């Protein structure tokens, strides 16, 4: 693995601990918690993070073999179905491993490659990694607030 990939991956891994560190503390009953009047539950946010990680692996970083149906992105709101802790933990472990594996294949020049998506326009892969990193950290903060103060 080249130096740029190693450093960028280390940044992503460290930032993702804001999310992964919470997963070991979750209880089944936390999944339905919400901060009212907001509509997204803890379970929805966990699934959403996994959905977006898989989308990034496939559409941004080129893991064409990844199969993903990003239910939370499609629905755009909590449908109340994300209530199985074991399934959610397995899903986000898979999304983590999938994204990590495709990041490992990136080369120095790949990070300068410009990709385009309808969600955020034209970005280099390095900028896109910043996007997924901040996305996960943002929702991890929401998750922490929901679990602590939600009902």
Tokens of 46: 């966990």
pTM (2 d.p.): 0.95
CATH number at residue 138: 1.20.120.450
Tens digit of pLDDT per residue, the chain (151 long)?
899 999 999 999 999 999 999 999 999 999 999 998 778 999 999 999 999 999 999 999 999 999 999 999 999 999 999 999 999 999 999 999 999 999 999 999 999 999 998 888 999 999 999 999 999 999 999 999 999 999 9
Number of domains in the chain: 1
Determine contact, residues 27/121, Cβ cutoff 8 Å: no
Phi, psi of 123 (to 5 degrees): -145, 155
Cα–Cα distances in Å, from 145 out to 21, 67, 151? 14, 31, 11
pLDDT over 90 percentage in the chain: 93
Its domain, for residue 40, covers 3-149
Return the DSSP state at 29.
G
How many other β-carbons are positioned within 10 Å of the β-carbon of residue 135? Answer: 16
Spatial CA neighbour of 23 closest among 100, 94, 93, 72: 93
């Amino acid at each position: 693995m080249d130096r740029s990939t190693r450093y960028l991956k280390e940044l992503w891994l460290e930032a993702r601990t804001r999310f992964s560190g919470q997963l070991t503390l979750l209880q089944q009953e936390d999944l339905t918690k919400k901060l009212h009047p907001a509509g997204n539950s803890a379970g929805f946010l966990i699934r959403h993070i996994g959905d977006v990680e898989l989308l990034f692996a496939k559409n941004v970083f080129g893991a064409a073999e990844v199969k993903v149906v990003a239910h939370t992105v499609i629905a755009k709101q909590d449908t109340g179905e994300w209530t199985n802790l074991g399934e959610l933990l397995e899903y986000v472990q898979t999304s983590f491993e999938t994204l990590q594996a495709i990041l490992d294949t990136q080369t120095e020049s790949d990070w300068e490659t410009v990709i385009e998506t309808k969600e955020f326009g034209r970005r280099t892969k390095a900028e896109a990694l910043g996007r997924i990193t901040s996305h996960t950290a943002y929702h991890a903060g929401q998750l922490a607030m929901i679990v602590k103060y939600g009902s």
